[in-house]
Amino acid sequence: MAWRGLCPPAAAVCSLCFARLRPTLNSTDPITGEATSAESKNATAAAYSRAKLFRRDPYTVERQRKVCVLIGMTGVGKSATANTLCGAKRAFETSSSVVSVTSAVRIRDYSFAGSRWRVIDTPGLGDTNKPYEETKRELLQAFHYAPHGIVCFVVVVPKGRFTAEMEQRVREALDIFGGEAAIRHTLIAVTRVQDAPEKVLDDIMRLPPDHTLRRLCELVGQRVLPVENVKEPAVAVSRLLLHRGMDEVLEMNGEERYFHTASMPVSVSLSGRTELTAEDLLQSRCSTAWSRENGTPRLVISCDFPRLGEVVNR
């Protein structure tokens, strides 16, 4: 079933709508003091604002704060989309080159329309000089900044050419994050597009069945949104669309956030060791399966720890 009904056609979005939204979208969170726009301000503005002056421990996150993770190839507009989400132009460094400017996971906390959010920008995919285990380790760092779970993975793809290599890299990243379970929490953001969501989806579904972008679209249940990160007022529309889309993904999953099995706390004894190290968890390969015990459904999580040579069932 197509994922539609997010918003009316772009032509129906008028300036009056933005006038009504602006007081809400530009307000300050009364508890955290975070402005809904993360744009940098001068010293005078900072002195008189209610925003916090010092950054908190990035591993400490309020339970009610929603966390989203951005995934994408280098140069497709991933960091620019992160800026759009948090309402800034320079919160995340952007580049159109083939060299990724995001060499490690980066985060930004902000508030939007009464909700607290955290956006996690991951390193760009496609670095052929980087071994798989290093890519996996970098991507899995995202879970350290989302101890209460992830609301949505946003796969950022460019308008136009989407190659088989891009599809393969994105699928590998989704497999690292958890495969099918993570895909249920995933949507696609097509950058440099100002069309209505319905038109973007229709254009993709008109592509041949074996087209890489259409296959990726069908993989995530046709959850596709247009994103414009440069031209106003389309940037404001994109920001609203993305947050509505992520909230809808959360609703579709029964308001349950996503947790990766390798990020779950484990307390076992293996080979004379009292507990597993963080390195063991990062290198683990886990799978899930349902079984029945005395007529009661039971979720079995099997984890293979290569360095230990043993399998743990929880």
Query: Which CATH number do you get for residue 235?
Result: 3.40.50.300
For 3, the token pair is 């994922």
For residue 262, pLDDT beyond 80: no
Tens digits of residue pLDDT in 53-86: 676 777 788 899 999 999 999 889 898 999 999 9
The reply to whether 195 and 111 lie within a common domain is yes
Residue 4 within a domain:
no
The reply to whether 196 and 225 lie within a common domain is yes
Tens digits of residue pLDDT in 239-256: 999 999 999 999 999 999
pLDDT top residue among 177 and 128: 177
Looking at this protein, which amino acid is placed at residue 266? V
The reply to whether 243 and 272 lie within a common domain is no
Phi, psi torsion values for 153, nearest 5 degrees: -100, 130
Residue 82 within a domain:
yes
For residue 177, pLDDT beyond 60: yes
CA 124/CA 21 separation, integer angstroms: 33
Last residue within a domain, chosen from 252, 275, 292: 252
Q: Map tokens 């076992």 to a residue.
A: 268
Percentage with pLDDT > 90 across the chain: 48
The reply to whether 179 and 281 lie within a common domain is no
- DSSP state for residue 256 in the 8-state scheme: P
Task: Find the range with the poorest average confidence among 214-223, 273-282, 301-310.
Answer: 273-282
Average pLDDT, the chain: 77
**Residue 205 CA to chain centroid, in angstroms?**
23
The reply to whether 164 and 287 lie within a common domain is no
Tens digits of residue pLDDT in 16-38: 444 444 444 455 665 555 655 54
Helix or strand run (H / E) with residue 154: strand 152-158
The reply to whether 236 and 292 lie within a common domain is no
Q: Domain total for the chain?
A: 2
pTM confidence score: 0.71
For residue 110, pLDDT beyond 50: yes
pLDDT top residue among 122 and 28: 122
pLDDT at 30: 58
Last residue within a domain, chosen from 232, 252, 272: 252
pLDDT at 81: 94
Residue 196 within a domain:
yes
pLDDT at 131: 81
Percentage with pLDDT > 70 across the chain: 62
The reply to whether 306 and 201 lie within a common domain is no
Residue 108 within a domain:
yes
Answer yes or no: are the C-beta atoms of 159 and 76 closer than 8 Å.
no
Residue 116 within a domain:
yes
The reply to whether 113 and 185 lie within a common domain is yes
Last residue within a domain, chosen from 252, 285, 305: 252
Determine how many CB atoms are found less than 10 A away from the CB of residue 95.
Answer: 14
Residue 3 within a domain:
no
The reply to whether 57 and 96 lie within a common domain is yes
Residue 132 within a domain:
yes
Residue 189 within a domain:
yes
Contacts made by residues 256-259, CB under 8 angstroms, sequence distance 24+:
256/149, 257/67, 257/148, 257/149, 257/150, 257/151, 257/185, 258/149, 258/150, 258/151, 258/153, 258/178, 258/181, 258/182, 258/184, 258/185, 259/143, 259/149, 259/150
The reply to whether 64 and 162 lie within a common domain is yes
The reply to whether 29 and 113 lie within a common domain is yes
The reply to whether 241 and 269 lie within a common domain is no
Domain extent, residue 248, equals 10-252
Answer yes or no: are the C-beta atoms of 175 and 196 closer than 8 Å.
no
| Average pLDDT rounded to a whole number, residues 264-282 | 45
